[in-house]
Structure 1
Amino acid sequence: MKNGDIDTAIGMYPKNIFLTYGINDIEAYQNSDTFIKLYGEVVDKIQSKLPNTNIYICSILPVTSSAISKQPKFNNISSWNQDIKNLCNKKGVTYIDANSVLANGGYEPDGIHFGVKGIKKWLDLFIQSANL
């Protein structure tokens, strides 16, 4: 998680902020404990600096079975998402479950990233979640 990105966002004084950490972090951490602790610190920082900003946290995006076979840690996305959802409940921020919208395809060949159609669905989900 890059604090510089958060500091830049805070400096813009947004009404809404969307956080989408996760897929790269699954590869970096042995389990979700440290990730959730750091994610909580990011939320705390935003809430302390921007108490009137709405915070939305997106689930870790789904990947294909092919991507899971290449990186078995991706098999833990579901449990990490539950930990993220619990964090959102604890911090009083909105959890956005992207799995239902993005699990039906639209992937790039790597099975991890989405093409234009998938990104549009993802953006539409954010717009709907925040009533924008």
Structure 2
Amino acid sequence: MKKNSSVDLATLIIRIAFGVMYLAHGLTKLLVFTPSGTAAYFTSLGFPALLGYLVIAFEIGGGILLLAGFFTRLIALLAVIEMITISQIHSVNGWTFSNPGGGWEYPAFMAFIALALMFLGSGKLKLNRLFHHNDFNNN
């Protein structure tokens, strides 16, 4: 396998894994915690309730866009900001996410994965290549 092919395949794997996780977290907030429950949790943290709804939309929409390979760098940048914020919120609970209230290990890991995607972009293996669409990723 050529080096470029390996990088494109690795980028695809990271993008799909992150997209699936993002989509799953958004769907969990939508279907399990419910939008009003998510908004109430955000309010309990001192954020406006509206942010809870926006996060649900971002995680579901962003997950779908990542899976397709659209706007990967932008989604990844916003995800880095979100995951760093979540890491700070959970930092009082300790390192491991299995701690009561969840620790900061998992969101910190997700922040680093998002940061890698921000630098990698979508890679060549993406849906918009099938349609000859060129987003701002330039790859």
Range into which the TM-score falls when normalised by the shorter chain = under 0.3
Higher helix share: 2
Q: Structure 1-normalised TM-score?
A: 0.23
Q: Structure 2-normalised TM-score?
A: 0.23
Higher strand share: 1
